Structure 1
Amino acid sequence: MSFTIKSVTTTAFPDQKPGTSGLRKRVKVFQQPHYTENFVQAILSAIPTGAAGSTLVVGGDGRFYGKEAVQLIIKLAAGNKVSKLIIGQNGILSTQVPASNLIRKHKATGGILLTASHNPGGPDNDFGIKYNIANGGPAPEGITDNIFSISKTLTSYSIANVPDVDLAAIKTHTFGSFTVEIVDSVKDYVILMKEIYDFPSIKGFFAAHPQFTVLMDSMHGVTGPYAKEILVNELGLPESSVMNFVPLEDFGGGHPDPNLTYAHELVERVEREGISFGAASDGDGDRNMIIGKGVFVNPSDSVAVIADYADKAIPYFKKTGIKGLARSMPTSMSIDRVAKAKFVKIYEVPTGWKFFGNLMDAGKLSICGEESFGTGSDHIREKDGLWAVLAWLSILAYANSQTLTGFIGLSELLQTHYKKYGRNFFSRYDYEEVDSAAANKVMDVLRSKKAGDTFAGYKIDYCDDFEYTDPVDHSVSKKQGLRFIFTEGSRVIFRLSGTGSQGATIRLYVEKFTEDVSLYGLDTQVGIKGLIAAALDMSRLRELTGREEPTVIT
């Protein structure tokens, strides 16, 4: 079937600057006439090698407006002479790994991913669009800056009269020189995970320890079908081991962010039912939370434990070894001590997975993580929630295969890690949808602080606005977060987040290290109580924002 292309006159929108994870706005903003079309056209025009003749992967986390956006992308791609689109069935594609994996597997030019990650979905909530490059990872700042520049001067977009495509059927549609292939991304993902992990070993662990129970909460996000296929169909767990595994456009009315606040249904069931291993992932599948009855695995500790065991418990790393480790700047320094013990380099990067991707492409990095519940490795160029869940199950299987002195669960693994490396008490306080002017006043107050200033008994030894020079491409990223290091070694960090759709989110990170074994069992909030007082004192946050308490504590 042939088609025609027309140029549609449009007016540029001034607010289409992509953040660290693409452009995120309320659904109603994207539904404005020409708004989505303009931004997709800007992406297509910014592809370094050009849109004409390219192959792009397209999919989203299943949120409201996703299917409509996919149909628009099909028409715009044809209008810009894209050669082929590879689209997840029903327009759904775990926007991190299956998308990243498909881009790499098919040597695609890149991918257009429809997600607002952990933000709520539905007609009155959030939508988002991001562009991933040929390595499968997020577009670097040079490309996102170009997308924004193009969006501000756009006067027209090219669109074809291609009919709507049936997204439900696994099928290839051909329109002249333009092809649209609908694929089953779950199948490809399972194949990839089997190449990384020893599924028979994990299955054997379950069989040997029937008292070990698992509950995976996909929060009605995109990982539901993946989790069910792997945990139930591949690893033999009962279907009761997965919950909220049907993707919904509004995520069941919940907030698909896997933390102790928003994953409360999982948390309550784990405690009530005595679940040994609970896990959750977010709307688009890139984040993860690991818990058990009476146990919460802090994301900073999670990546450190995975890094410590990886070359012993995970076949992929037995083959490749550990090339290097990395963390985002706000993430606790727990993984730094693992890197030192393994004699590998540790990298400290700004928040944003694209910085890890550069290191991976250069062969410098194997495992990395962010305190915001993101963990991943060089098997792809995105964080991967289910990858992390399988990593923990592999580690538990390995640890129990090596012991003769009883069962090793989450708590025992963590305490063993603390005894080996010491404990980093770490927590993040999120103040969401704060008035932007007030949030900027908080940051201005903090910038006035200097070495020698003392707050609640903590004296500043060093402070800066974190700046990063990429060791691969030598690009410089400035003003990535205000760091305050106190004389006894504790850290306090403040950042304004770019992942919300309105207002500003102030993120406060606090970290206190101890090698006092008697303190390892303390609740985190007890361990950092003094630091929180110092942070609130120095920032005047309560006074300037009117917020007495954070929205979320992790």
Structure 2
Amino acid sequence: MSLREVATPAFEGQKPGTSGLRKKVTVFQQPGYLESFVQAVFDCAPELQGGTLVLGGDGRFFNRSAIQIILRMAAANGIDRVLVGQGGILSTPAASAVIRRHRARGGLVLSASHNPGGPDGDFGIKYNIANGGPAPEAVTEAIYKRTQTIRHYRIFDTDAPVNLDAIGNRKIGNMTVTVIDPVDDYAVLLGGLFDFDAIRALLARKDFRFRFDAMHAVTGPYAKRLLVEMLGAPAKSVINAEPLEDFGGGHPDPNPVYAPELYKAAVLDGELDFAAASDGDGDRNMILGKGIAVTPSDSLAVLAANATLAPGYAKGIAGVARSMPTSRAPDAVARALKIECFETPTGWKFFGNLLDAGRITLCGEESYGTSSDHVREKDGLWAVLFWLNLLAVKRGETVLSILQAHWKRYGRHYYSRHDYEAVDARQATEALNRLRAALPSLPGQKVGGMVVTAADDFAYRDPVDGSESKGQGLRVICGEQARLIARLSGTGTEGATVRLYFELFEADPAKQADDVQARLQPLIDFAEIQTGLRKITGRAAPDVIT
């Protein structure tokens, strides 16, 4: 066994996005590509030396190979101990939980989240800091700058790879590698937040029909342990539970487009009283009920309004935060509860300071991400258990009746997101620049009878550390009535993903059952007039509507 310094070029484009560095698998497989980025992380995080690092991923193709490389590099960079999930598996929220519980100095999460996997699919890597959350912008920017100047990486040569399938300790040089059960710490954490006895009684009812779709992604082992073994759900109620390197050929994004059978069974056919799904790395969730799909914005608002019904939040919540494109439904709850509500840029890292400072307890994004201060990441199964806890306590209530009661009290925020995927980058920029140029002239114009009161490019000043983030999305606001938002997504690996968000507030309960897209049509038409997106791209419609 020997330590080597290996020469490497500085690769272009290794700038982490909202959730780390994501590229095609073939890009990561280039000699030195993964190594250069990991070395940049180690160079910019000297606190890892002599400490503990957490390592794991969602099980997608290249996960095991990447872990072997990172383990050898960690040993060569002076890390004392690495906790790695058995089989290389560790969901993103579980990784956060392990970092926090074992007081690790950081972690590397290997995932491209909801992006497709396999040899021709995507791969990703994200650095999480000691609080368990994604590295803040100052750290990711330092890592990116280091990738531009790096000239070599350090690695141990070893005779054999580490056995990732057997729990226990191994050695690489002076570094200890501890293979851990990926579910244990996470299951203990969630068990202290929710009323498992009440949920167990709910799942035991013969008239309660439940299904969870793990989408052949990382949450399969977690769902089987929590829902089946600990809470007594029928084994057949957890489907697609085996993590596969290519996610079974599917797209592990929990929405009605990529989980159509689950959506049909619950929403269209009414065969299920409650259904849910999670994504590739386990940090997103889709909540469905008989006849209704819960928007993530509404989900966050409902959980905030009913938080005290779960034991872990019985004393109330300090505040709530949402990403800017998320609907303003949580704001209405915060006003009623007289707690703080924050609007942040997209990216879970922006919630970290607020959580660490105790300013908020719950937070969420419109992209099917919801969580609380128990970790510093989105948490798909946490949201599922929270909804099951509500249904168990609100006996006789359904997902739909809970939503209807919520809308009657707080008003309904009609909401939809239109995704145009793999758009030519120049065309995407042209469309958004058209809207950006029009922003100063939009106030005073009418949209479907509503008056535009403000139009800007969202900027955020962190209330904890004062840091600023500019250019976070274009907003057209019609007072409290409506919003149109346009931004480029930072999670794709091909071309550009343009996302348009539409929101309309309706206070009258008699008008809260209208068709969502029909109610939003004036905003949809206005967006096309201002951006020319369909005309520029030649697209007749969005690729995904949620």
TM-score normalised by structure 2 residue count: 0.97
Partner of 1:156: 152
Instruction: Give the C-alpha shift of residue 52 in structure 1.
Output: 2.2
Partner of 1:54: 51
Q: 1:297 to 1:488 in 2, by over 3 A?
A: closer
1:525 aligns with 2:521: no
Partner of 1:258: 254
Using the alignment, how far apart are the partners of 1:456 and 1:342 within structure 2? 32
Q: Which amino acid aligns with 1:187?
A: D
1:84 aligns with 2:81: yes
Partner of 1:112: 108
Partner of 1:537: 529
Instruction: Give the C-alpha shift of residue 419 in structure 1.
Output: 0.6
Instruction: Give the C-alpha shift of residue 19 in structure 1.
Output: 0.4
Q: 1:543 to 1:456 in 2, by over 3 A?
A: farther
Equivalence map 1:84-483=2 (5 Å) = 84-95=81-92, 97-162=93-158, 163-207=160-204, 209-270=205-266, 271-272=268-269, 274-311=271-308, 313-319=309-315, 321-400=316-395, 407-449=396-438, 450=441, 451-454=443-446, 458-483=450-475
1:277 touches 1:291 (CA, 8 Å); kept in 2? yes
- Structure 1 segments of 4 or more deviating over 3 A? 453-459
Show structure 2 runs of 5+ residues with no match: none
1:15 aligns with 2:7: no
Instruction: Give the C-alpha shift of residue 187 in structure 1.
Output: 1.7
DSSP-derived class of the 2:203 partner: helix
Using the alignment, how far apart are the partners of 1:332 and 1:435 within structure 2? 28
Using the alignment, how far apart are the partners of 1:376 and 1:196 within structure 2? 12
Show structure 1 runs of 5+ residues with no match: 401-406
How far does the alpha carbon of each residue in 1:266-319 deviate from its partner, in whole angstroms, 9 at most, with x for none?
2133344711101000000000000123111011000000001011x1101114
Instruction: Give the C-alpha shift of residue 212 in structure 1.
Output: 1.1
Q: Which amino acid aligns with 1:282?
A: D
Instruction: Give the C-alpha shift of residue 530 in structure 1.
Output: 1.7
1:456 touches 1:537 (CA, 8 Å); kept in 2? no
Q: Which amino acid aligns with 1:363?
A: G
Instruction: Give the C-alpha shift of residue 479 in structure 1.
Output: 0.4
The alignment's C-alpha RMSD in Å is 1.3
Using the alignment, how far apart are the partners of 1:526 and 1:293 within structure 2? 22
Instruction: Give the C-alpha shift of residue 454 in structure 1.
Output: 4.4
Using the alignment, how far apart are the partners of 2:320 and 2:70 within structure 1? 37
How far does the alpha carbon of each residue in 1:325-367 deviate from its partner, in whole angstroms, 9 at most, with x for none?
1111111111101001111010010001111111010011100
Using the alignment, how far apart are the partners of 1:294 and 1:212 within structure 2? 15
How far does the alpha carbon of each residue in 1:145-189 deviate from its partner, in whole angstroms, 9 at most, with x for none?
011111111110001113310000011102342100000021221
Q: Please, which of 2, 5, 13 is the counterpart of residue 4 of structure 1?
A: 2
Using the alignment, how far apart are the partners of 1:517 and 1:196 within structure 2? 33
DSSP-derived class of the 2:465 partner: coil
Q: Which amino acid aligns with 1:104?
A: R
Instruction: Give the C-alpha shift of residue 488 in structure 1.
Output: 7.0
Using the alignment, how far apart are the partners of 1:398 and 1:454 within structure 2? 45
Partner of 2:26: 28
Partner of 1:404: none
